[in-house]
Structure 1
Amino acid sequence: MSNPQLVTLLTDQALIAIIAVIAIVLIGGTTGLVISRRRKAELPAAEPAPELTEPKVGDDAEEPRDTPTRTLEDTELPEAGATATIEKPESAQGRLVRLRARLARSQGSLGKGLLALLSRDTLDEEAWEDIETTLITADVGVAPTQELVEKLRTRVRVEGVSGDQARTILREELIALVNPELDRTLKLEGKEGQPAVVLVVGVNGTGKTTTVGKLARVLVAEDKHVVLGAADTFRAAAADQLQTWGERVGVRTVRGPEGGDPASIAFDAVKQGIEEKADVVLVDTAGRLHTKTGLMDELGKVKRVIEKAAEVDEVLLVIDATTGQNGLTQARVFAEVINVTGLVLTKLDGTAKGGIVIAVQRELGVPVKLVGLGEGADDLAPFDAEQFVDALLD
């Protein structure tokens, strides 16, 4: 075979080999594409990426919140009876007499224990240590306890002590510690013809909504025109509960949709109060843990929005008296976020320790203005230092 023929043969064979390689590559690529498509078809569709939104005040208010949402069926409402029947709340004087008797029954052990210790024949160091222990376990607080014991020591040493004298000394020093000079009146006179606005705040479970309802009864008994604002939009039953309280004494409740903006509802309530020429607007707010920054910011927002319509005259912080020193921590944080003007101690009957009155006032420099002493509709009364101490010692 000549050289030209050999070159031609080799060229043809190389061309065939190249074509074969290209065909193999194409077939392989097509097969891979089919397999890839099949695999993709078998995989679940990817979920779209969540839409990112800018964080805002109150983000902590979304689920999960401090406590699970309670429905109307889970909430104990006051007995409304026929909606057409308007109740006449009990007078302030009759309520105070009854509540003092109840307080004496529930808190008397503290006074009796102190009197028994002071009336000992010999008041040695052990006796004074027992007095300190009694006061501290009653939630009086360490600093107020030390101050009281020091004053008692001085007076007992100078004046001597007998049964009646011990009671007199203890009464006078306890009254001084509770501080009767604090202004405990509720500011219920609005400025320039506007209604007084009372904002009620606190953590979950302290009894804010019930307190607002009971306070409405107190004011109606004083012939005041009251409007209620249901700004607790997180708890499903809160607005229904508050409206039921209002219906019992003929008071209008301004409410909004569940999950609505609490500041907007509070503002609407104040505007309604202005239109009706009401004397007082009481605004109930959602319970919030003092550790939740977003919720506490939300509370400040509610107050700021209200003040676009009228000045907030009172901010009442509701504290469960049975929580003891934890109640002090809550009060301290609330006072940092919003200007608390008065305290309401609920559940002061039963297992509550009366010393919390002294401790929380000393901590905040804010007076206890109202106390709740039971589950009854009229079991809320103004706080009086002398009557409180007398009830302890009765």
Structure 2
Amino acid sequence: MGLFDKFKLGLSKTKSILLTDVRDLFKSEGRLIDEEFLDEMRAILIRTDMGYASAEEIVAEVAKNFRGRVVHLVDIVATWKTKLRELLAQDASPIRFAESGPTIIMVCGVNGAGKTTSIAKLAAMFKSQGKSVMLGAGDTFRAAAVEQLTIWSQRLGAEIVKGEPGSHPAAVAYRAVEQSVAQGIDVCIIDTAGRLQTQKNLMAELTKIQASIRKLVPTAPQEVLLVLDATTGQNGVSQAANFTQSVDCTGIVLAKLDGTAKGGVVVAIRQQVGLPVKYIGVGEKAEDLALFQPDEFVDALFADVAPPAA
């Protein structure tokens, strides 16, 4: 499955609602762009959870280009796509690999966001690239999380470092990095316990984990990925803003995109948080992880709404 098809699959619920709502805006002979139309359009955009500010920018662009004119669906969609590409624009942000030694990736997020599955998908991606992978089971307070990560490590052929139940996550992270250095592992991925962004003591723990990693590799971690659950919509934006205050996040993995009609939250994250969206989860399988590329994302979102702009 190509990237465009993965995006289409992941956005199917968002696209289904958008398709119905947008087509309902228009009649076969076109529609006058007036305040009533702009209000209806704004409401549709906000329902995708892209946020009021982003929706307002798109509405303003449509008003500037078409106010007082009768237009057809294809005209409006072309303007939407152009503006969304502008709002989503980011540097190409795949994983930043270490110049030498293991690349250390720390993964954090709230409980239930899809952290463990996202780690498995990242590991599968690296393994498919011929890289060796070490997993650090830093969620030491949940036996189920360690067990799940262990099963994934066996399935994917990755190494794993575990600690005793209740042991300090920073100690597990240290040992995982230590073994990665000793064994010449290419990529070391450190899991962390799920936590709410309001739990100050647990948020401080993330800083301790980073500090323990840097005792061995001062330039690490190369990436600190925040996993957000796309189904939470705007709450994910709040999570991202708070996490970045406690730990130096480098990018976002947006999980469960295929399970929500709120795919527009990608726009809100880019606009309100500023972190690059690096990967999106588009299904349950290990290979259902896609590198986020704004152009393909926008094209997939509107693939069945209107013909592509000339």
Give the TM-score normalised by the residue count of structure 1: 0.72
The one-letter code of the counterpart of 1:134 is I
Pairwise CA distance, 1:206: 0.3
1:142 aligned residue: 52
**2:173 corresponds to which of 266, 270, 278:** 266
Matched, 1:133 2:43: yes
**Which residue is equivalent to 2:307?**
none
Q: Does residue 345 in structure 1 map to residue 258 in structure 2?
A: no
Which region of structure 1 is more displaced relative to structure 2, 162-171 or 142-151? 162-171
- Name the structure 2 match of 1:313: 222
Contact 1:148–1:177, Cα closer than 8 Å, also in 2: no
State the partner residue of 2:152. Answer: 245
Q: Match of 1:292, as an amino acid?
A: Q
1:289 aligned partner, one-letter code? L
CA distance in 1, matches of 2:64, 2:91: 25
Render the CA deviation track for 1:191-230: whole Å, top value 9, x for unaligned. 3x22111000000000111110111001111111111111
Q: 1:258 to 1:286 in 2, by over 3 A?
A: same
Query: In 2, are the aligned partners of 1:138 and 1:353 still within 8 Å (CA)?
Result: yes
> Partners of 1:305 and 1:115 in 2: how far apart?
54
Paired residue secondary structure (2:31): coil
Letter of the structure 1 residue corresponding to residue 92 of structure 2:
D
Structure 2 Cα separation of the partners of residues 316 and 159 of structure 1: 45
Give the distance between the partners of 2:126 and 2:23, measured in 1 at CA.
38
- After superposition, what is the alpha-carbon deviation per residue over 1:284-327, rounded to whole angstroms, capped at 9, x for unaligned? 10001111111111111011111111211101000111111211
Describe how 1:34-73 pairs up with structure 2 within 5 A: none
- 5+ residue gaps, structure 1: 1-93
Structure 2: which amino acid aligns with 1:312? Answer: P
Letter in 2 for 1:390: D
Distance in 1 between the 2:24 and 2:277 partners?
A: 28
- Displacement of 1:117 in angstroms is 2.9
Change (3 A) 1:258 1:184: same
1:377 Cα offset (Å):
2.2
Partners of 1:183 and 1:324 in 2: CA distance: 24
Counterparts of 2:230 and 2:207 in 1: how far apart (Å)? 24
Cα deviation for residue 159 of structure 1 reads 9.1
Residues in 2 aligned to 1:215 and 1:334: alpha-carbon distance in whole angstroms: 21
Q: Which amino acid aligns with 1:363?
A: Q
Distance 1:358 1:104, change over 3 A: closer
Structure 1 counterpart of 2:76: 166
Residue 108 of structure 1: how far off its partner (Å): 1.3
Q: What count of residue pairs does the alignment treat as equivalent?
A: 298
**Partner SS state of residue 287, structure 1:** coil
Tell me what 2:98 maps to.
190
CA distance in 1, matches of 2:194, 2:261: 21
Q: Judge conservation of contact 2:102–2:180 (CA < 8 Å) in 1.
A: yes
**Quick check: 1:347–1:373 contact (8 Å CA) kept in 2?**
yes
Mapped partners of 2:88, 2:17: distance in 1 = 15
1:99-140 deviation line (CA, Å, top 9, x unaligned): 223134222135423355367421221110011111112111
2:162 to 234, 255, 258: 255
How does 1:1-394 map onto structure 2 within 5 Å?
A: 94=1, 96-112=3-19, 113-114=21-22, 116-117=24-25, 120-157=30-67, 161-179=71-89, 181-187=90-96, 189-191=97-99, 193-310=100-217, 311-394=220-303
Where does the alignment leave 5 or more consecutive residues of structure 2 unmatched?
304-310
Alpha carbons 2:58, 2:80 under 8 Å: kept = no
Query: In the alignment, is the contact (CA less than 8 A) between 2:33 and 2:63 conserved in 1?
Result: no
Contact 2:10 2:283 in 1 (8 A): no
TM-score (norm 2): 0.91
Cα drift, residue 243 of structure 1: 1.5
Secondary structure of residue in 2 paired with 1:184? coil
Which residue identity does 1:251 align to in structure 2?
A: A
Tell me the residue number matched to 1:81: none
3-state DSSP class of the match of 1:326?
Answer: helix
Classify 1:138/1:271 alpha carbon distance in 2 versus 1 (closer, same or farther; 3 Å): same
Shift of 1:358: 0.7
Change (3 A) 1:162 1:137: closer
Q: Give 1:266 shift.
A: 0.4
Report how far residue 184 of structure 1 moved: 2.2
Name the SS of the counterpart of 2:258 in structure 1: coil
Change (3 A) 1:97 1:387: closer
Percent sequence identity over matched residues?
40
